[in-house]
Amino acid sequence: MKILNIVGARPNFIKIAPLMTEYRKHKNIDAILVHTGQHYDDKMSDYLFHDLGIPKPDINLEVGSGSHAVQTAEIMKRFEPFAISYKPDLVVVVGDVNSTIACGLVATKLDIKLAHIEAGLRSFDRSMPEEINRILTDSISDLLFCTESSGVDNLLAEGVAHNKIHMVGNIMIDTLLSHLEKAQQSTIIEDLQQQYCLDIRDFAVLTLHRPSNVDDALVFSRILDALEVIQADMPVFFPIHPRTRRNISILGLQQKIDNLKNLYMLDPVSYLDFLKLQADARIVLTDSGGIQEETTILKVPCITLRENTERPVTVTIGSNQVAGTDTGKIVTAYKRAVNGDYREPQIPPLWDGKAAERIVSTFE
Ligand code: UD1
C-alpha cells in the first residue's frame, strides 16, 4: 500500500511524526513524506524534523509564503504532478492549514482516497481561514479521524456517513507523551534565567500568531495591556512567530512592548524546549489550537486569546479558559487561574499516546 503523507506548517510536523514511526511496523506499507514548504524558516521547519526524528521529506515543493489564494494554488500546481507520478493508494493530510486543503483537493480530483487527521473540529467562526480549510477538507475526505467527541458530532450534523468517521484520540498527544521525558532535560529555563539575570519561580508563556490578533493594532494592544498586569507578577516568555515579529514594527507596537520590562521576546524555540516551557509554566496564554490541547495534558492552566475554540473538550474537562481579547476578561481569567480557582483537568478519552496505532490499523 502506497501512502503519501503531507506536511506544510509547524503543527503538521508534530502530528505526522507518530504516523511515520508507526508505518515502519507495517511491512506492507510504503510511506513517503511530502513537505509543501509552506513553512520554510529553519526554526519553523528544520528544527522540528530534528527534534521529532522525522525522516527527511522525500520531496519539498518549496511553495513559501503568499496570499491564501496564491499559496493554496501554488501547492496544488506543484503537488499534482508528483501525486500523478507516485500513484498513491492513499493521501494523508493533517490539521487545518492551507497545505491540508490544497493537497486534499488535488488527491480527491485525481480520485485518490483521502484521509484527514483531526477531522470535525469546528470553531463555527468562518472568518478564521482554518475553519474554511476544516469544513472543505472534511467534506472531501474518505476517512475522517477525530480527536474528541465534538468532532464526531459535528461531522454527523454535516451529513458525513457514520462509517467514514473514526474516533481515534489525539495524535499530537502521542508526540507529547513520547517526547516529554527528553523535554524535561531541556536547559531552556536555566538558559533564560542566565541570559536575563532572573531568579525564576513562576513564569508565564505567551504565543500569538493569528491574523485576527496580530494584524490588528487595536486587538494586539488590548492583549499587551493585559500582559502589563501579568508581567508585573511574573516573567512572561514570548517565543515569537515570524508574522508577529514583522507586525510589531508595522503596527508601531515596539515601544509598547519595550515598556513591558518583564516580557521577553524569544526567537521561535524548538519543540522540546517549548514542551519544557509549557510543562513548567504557571500559566500559558495563546491563540494556538494545539497548545490548548498540550496544556490540558500537562495540567497547566491555559488562557485562549480568541473568542471561540474548535477544541471544546479542553474547556469542558481540561484546563483551558477562552477569554477572548478584551483586556479585562484576560486579566480576570488570569486571576482565576493563578488563584487556584479552577478544576484539576481530566485527560480526554483516548489521549493516551496510541492514536497513530489506531489510525494505521484502519488503513489495512
Ligand atoms: C499557518 C496556518 C495556521 C497555523 C500556523 C502555525 C494557514 C492558513 N495558517 O499560519 O493555521 O496555526 O501556520 O504556525 O495555513 N513566515 C516566515 N517564515 C516561515 C513561515 C512563515 O517568515 O517559515 C511568515 C511570512 O511572513 C508569512 C507569514 O509568516 O507570510 C504567515 O505564514 P503562513 O504560512 O501564511 O501562515 P501562518 O501565520 O504561519
- Residues 173-214 pLDDT 10s: 999 999 999 999 999 999 999 999 998 889 999 999 999 999
Query: Which ligand 1 atom sits nearest the alpha carbon of residue 290?
Result: 12
d(C-alpha 25, C-alpha 90), whole Å:
18
Span 299-357, pLDDT tens digits = 999 999 999 999 999 999 988 999 999 999 999 999 999 987 767 889 999 999 999 99
Ligand 1 lined by 10 (C-beta under 6 Å):
yes
The Cα–Cα gap between 293 and 271 comes to: 15
DSSP-derived secondary structure letter, 59: E
Task: Report the mean per-residue pLDDT for the chain.
Answer: 96
Residues 313-344 as b/e (b if ≥16 CB within 10 A, e otherwise) read bbbebbbbbbbbbbbebbbebbeebbeeeeee
Catalytic residues: 209
Q: What's the pLDDT band for 364 if we cut at 50, 70, 90?
A: confident
pLDDT at 153: 98
pLDDT tens readout for residues 51-90:
999 999 999 999 999 999 999 999 999 999 999 999 999 9
Q: Identify the pLDDT of residue 340.
A: 76
Whether the predicted pLDDT of 295 surpasses 80: yes
pLDDT of residue 105: 98
Taking the CA of residue 43 as reference, the ligand 1 atom at the shortest distance is: 23
Q: How confident is the model at residue 132 (pLDDT cuts 50, 70, 90)?
A: very high
